[in-house]
Structure 1
C-alpha cells in the first residue's frame, strides 16, 4: 500500500496486487460517490492473471482530504495514476458510481483505455424511479421509518451510523436471506462517508443532459462490457440502453445477482471480467 501524490499535492491511497500476466493491467474504481475502496474481492478474481490497482478517490477513505470534488478532477487523478504506474494503455473496471467515472475517463482519454467494464452502473435514462420503487418494496414500513429517522440526524454515533448504513445498503442484494449480513459487514468499515463529495458529484452528474452522455459514449473506442445483475434494484433496462449507445458495447446480465455480483455470482463474474481484460491483448 502506497500513497501517490497528485499535481495539487493531494495524496491518494493505493494498493497493487497480482503480477504481469497475459491480460491488460487493470485499475478498479469504487463507487459512492464519497465511499472508499471495497473492491478487494474483485481484485482477487483477477490478480492471478494480471496486475490489479485499487485506490481511494480523493477526499475518501485513506486518501487526503480535498474540497475539489468534480468529475473532471477525478478523471485527471486517474490519468495521473496511469502515468505514475507507467502504462501506455490499461483496462478500467468501475463499479456503481465508479462505472460512470470509468465511462467519463474512457471518452476523455479514449487512446488510453484498452477495455472498459461498466459494473452495476446506472446506465442511460430514468433509473431513479424504478430504483426507489424496488428499494421500498424490499423494506418494511418500520425499516423505512427508521432509515428516515437516522438520515435526519446531523451527528450519528458509531453504532447508529452502522445501523444507518446497513438499512441504506441491505436492499442492494438479491439474496434476501443474506442481504442484511452483507450490508452489516460493509457498514462496519472504519471510514467516514464523504457526504460533501457525494452531494457535489451526484449533483454534477445528475445535471448532465442525456444527449451529452450519448455524445460521450460515441467517443469511446474501447470495447465496453456492461455487467448488471437482474436482482440489482437499479434497473437493467438503463444498463441495456447504455450498452446500445456505445460503439462496442455488450450487455451481460447476471441472473439473480444484486449490486455486488462478486458476492452472489463470483464464478460468472470472474469469467466475464477475464474475457473483457483479455480483449485485443493477444498480438499486441
Structure 2
C-alpha cells in the first residue's frame, strides 16, 4: 500500500498482524540505499501486534528522492506513524536502520514506545575491526574480484556477484554465508548508491559526542541485539549502550549481521519478549 509523504514522495509499505494492546512495530531496513527484506522478522511477532514495513525514500519500491537526510528519514517515519493511526510505536531498526531508529526515538520521544537496535555499528572506531574481519573472511581471489567489480559499470550478473562478495562476510556460518549472500544479492531492485553516499557522509560528520548524547536522552526502553559473529564489533555497540539509561544488551551466539538467519528461534523468542513487554521495549 503506497503512502505519500508531506513532500510528495510515495513510499512502498506492507502491514501484517492485527492491532492489540501491545505497541505496534515499525521495521527500518538497512543500507543506506537498500530496501525492506524483513518479512521474516514481521512473521515472528505479527500474531502479537501489528507490524509495518516500508522502503525508505529513494529506495527499493519507493519513489525516487534527491532529499536524503537523516532528519527527513526520521520525519518520514513519524508521518507513517500518524498515517497508520498510532500514538506510539516501537521502532525496530537493523544495521543502518538501527541508527535511524535511535535518531527517531530521540527526536520523536513522545511517540517512541521502544527501540530495538539490531546489529548497528555503535560508536567509536568500529570500521578498523570491521574491515580487518571482512578481509580475514575472504580469500585473496575473492578480494581481488571484489576490487575489480567496485567502482565500474557492471552487468546484471556482475552486480549480483558484487553484492554477494560484499555481503557474504556478514555471516558467521562460513559454510552457508555465500548462499545467504546470493539470496539477498539476487533481489531485482537497484541499490541507491547516491543515498548511501549522502547519508553515510552525514553520519560521519556527526561530532563524537552526538550519538552518546542522543542515547543518554532516550526515554523509552531500548534493547540492543547483536550477533557475536557480526564483523561489526560488539564492543562499539556495548559502548553506545552504556550511555542509555534503560537498556538491555543481548548478544546472539554463533550469529552474524542477520542473526535471525543463523539463530531464528533465539531471535524469535527475544523479539516476542520485547513486544509483549517482558524485556526491553
Q: Same fold (TM over 0.5)?
A: yes
What is aligned with 1:220? 218
1:268 partnered with 2:270 = no
Equivalenced residue count is: 279
The 8 Å contact of residues 215 and 241 in structure 2, kept in 1 or not, is answered as no
What is aligned with 2:244? 246
- Give the root-mean-square deviation of aligned CA atoms: 1.1
The 8 Å contact of residues 95 and 118 in structure 2, kept in 1 or not, is answered as yes
What is aligned with 2:86? 87
Instruction: Give the 3-state SS of the residue equivalent to 1:245 in structure 2.
Output: coil
CA distance in structure 2 between the partners assigned to 1:21 and 1:178 by the alignment? 37
CA deviation profile, 1:136-179 (whole Å, cap 9, x unmatched) = 000001100100100131x2110000000000000000000000
What is aligned with 2:165? 167
Gaps of 5+ in 1: none
What is aligned with 1:66? 65
TM-score for both structures, normalised by structure 1: 0.96
Query: Which deviates more from structure 2 when the two are superposed, residues 258-267 or residues 271-280?
Result: 271-280
CA deviation profile, 1:68-127 (whole Å, cap 9, x unmatched) = 000000001000000000111011100000000000001001111111100000011111
The 8 Å contact of residues 48 and 275 in structure 2, kept in 1 or not, is answered as no
What is aligned with 1:18? 17
TM-score for both structures, normalised by structure 2: 0.97
How much has 1:278 moved relative to structure 2? Answer: 2.4
CA distance in structure 1 between the partners assigned to 2:207 and 2:246 by the alignment? 22
What is aligned with 1:6? 5
Which of 171, 185, 188 matches 1:187?
Answer: 185
* 1:35-184 superposed matches below 5 A: 35-153=34-152, 155-184=153-182
Gaps of 5+ in 2: none
Query: Which deviates more from structure 2 when the two are superposed, residues 167-176 or residues 206-215?
Result: 206-215
